[in-house]
Amino acid sequence: MGVEAHEGSRVPEGQAIHRLARIASGFLAGRVVAASSPQGRFAEGAARLDGLTAFHAQAWGKHFFMPFAESRTPTAEPLLGDDGPAWLHVHLGLYGRWSFSGPRATDVAGAGLRGGGNAAAVPEPGATVRLRLEAEDLAADLTGPARCEALDGQGVRAVLARLGPDPVRNEPGDRERFVTTIRSRRAAVGQLILDQSIAAGPGNIYRADCLFRTGISPLTPGSEVSPERLGALWDDLAATMADDVDSGVIRTVPPDLRPEPVPEGDEEAGRFAVYHRTGRPCLRCGTTIVEKDLVGRRLFWCPGCQR
């Protein structure tokens, strides 16, 4: 079911959810939406959204939020967690996916979504569709999410309270919060980055490659990495992830290190610096890339130039 074979079994990282929010907003925002749960497991939640107007969706890390309200109110776009609208909250997890279909759908691709245009009519939903949102010749079908719920503002704020700053949002104070939190912990910095309460959004690829890009060893305890280097790491996560929102493709190899042409048998080097490159030479120093299991996730790094 993966869009790309080697990414098929990964949870989409935060940049993919920001992209999803943008695409879903393009199709649905400002329109009255018919909501249903063909599978039945979200029947009650869908009934809360049915017949309301969709407003612009937002992402926070790997969490997707879309507000729905009577079209007369609110007059302005709701702020994330506002009281008033009904909020659709989705976490795709490993298997969740949005599919867009119908005459108004355009071709979209990327982690956690698919879509195809050219249909003459909105097709009947499959039996596994947890939620269908339909508006004017377009259907958005959600299958297999880890979480799908309708929340009020307080419910949204409760979700956000458990999440750290999101590098793609990169709001004032986020950088300091990230640096301070990591500096207060003894665990390996490579482990801390994947803690969604410390940074919301980064997954295994950005973890590996942004540490490489900033030259930090993932095994160094958080408390032993200088504030300057952690600040640089935050800035790199923010810039790299934001860059990938537009394309939907993660490309984390630094442009000046990208081999040209990409060596046969090392195709990952065209996209990634150390991720999935175990046993290959480091693009910066030639040392062999290594991997180890860290708290159940594969961690990749260069022992030569990451200190």
Q: For residue 16, what are the contacts with CB-CB under 8 A and spacing of at least 6?
A: 110, 111, 112, 113, 248
Among 94, 109, 239, 285, contact with Zn ion (rule: CB under 5 A)? 285
Among 284, 299, 300, 301, contact with Zn ion (rule: CB under 5 A)? 284
1 and 8 Cβ atoms separated by less than 8 Å: yes
Which residue stretch of 37-45, 53-61, 238-246, 285-293 sits at the interface with Zn ion (rule: CB under 5 A)? 285-293
Q: Does 257 bind Zn ion (CB under 5 A)?
A: no
Q: Does 290 bind Zn ion (CB under 5 A)?
A: no
* Shortest Å, Cβ 255 to Zn ion: 17
Q: Which helix (H) or strand (E) holds 52?
A: none
- Which value, to the nearest 10 degrees, does the dihedral of the CA atoms of residues 197, 145, 155, 25 take? 100
34 and 133 Cβ atoms separated by less than 8 Å: yes
* Shortest Å, Cβ 302 to Zn ion: 3
Q: Which of 19, 62, 169, 213 is catalytic?
A: 62
Distance CA 291, CA 275 (A): 9
Which residue stretch of 11-19, 105-113, 247-255, 297-305 sits at the interface with Zn ion (rule: CB under 5 A)? 297-305
Residue 62 or 277: the one with the smaller Cβ distance to Zn ion is: 277
Total residues contacting Zn ion by CB under 5 A comes to 7
Which residue stretch of 157-165, 170-178, 240-248, 275-283 sits at the interface with Zn ion (rule: CB under 5 A)? 275-283
Q: For residue 101, what are the contacts with CB-CB under 8 A and spacing of at least 6?
A: 115, 116, 119, 122, 123, 138, 139, 141
Tell me the two tokens of residue 297: 């996730």
Which residue stretch of 26-34, 104-112, 123-131, 295-303 sits at the interface with Zn ion (rule: CB under 5 A)? 295-303
Among 192, 210, 282, 299, contact with Zn ion (rule: CB under 5 A)? 282
105 and 115 Cβ atoms separated by less than 8 Å: yes
Q: Does 302 bind Zn ion (CB under 5 A)?
A: yes
Q: Which of 13, 48, 132, 169 is catalytic?
A: 13
* Shortest Å, Cβ 215 to Zn ion: 9
The interface with Zn ion within residues 33-72 (CB under 5 A) comprises: none
Distance CA 172, CA 6 (A): 35
* Shortest Å, Cβ 257 to Zn ion: 10
Strand, helix or coil for residue 236: helix
DSSP 8-state code for residue 238:
H
Q: Is 251 an active-site residue?
A: no
Among 50, 287, 291, 297, contact with Zn ion (rule: CB under 5 A)? 287
Q: Is 12 an active-site residue?
A: yes
Cβ count within 10 A of residue 80: 19
Q: Is 13 an active-site residue?
A: yes
234 and 178 Cβ atoms separated by less than 8 Å: yes
Q: Is 297 an active-site residue?
A: yes
* Shortest Å, Cβ 178 to Zn ion: 25
Cβ count within 10 A of residue 284: 18
Tokens 């996730």 found at: 297
Q: Point out which residues bind Zn ion (CB under 5 A).
A: 282, 284-285, 287, 302, 304-305
Q: Which residues are catalytic?
A: 12-13, 62, 297
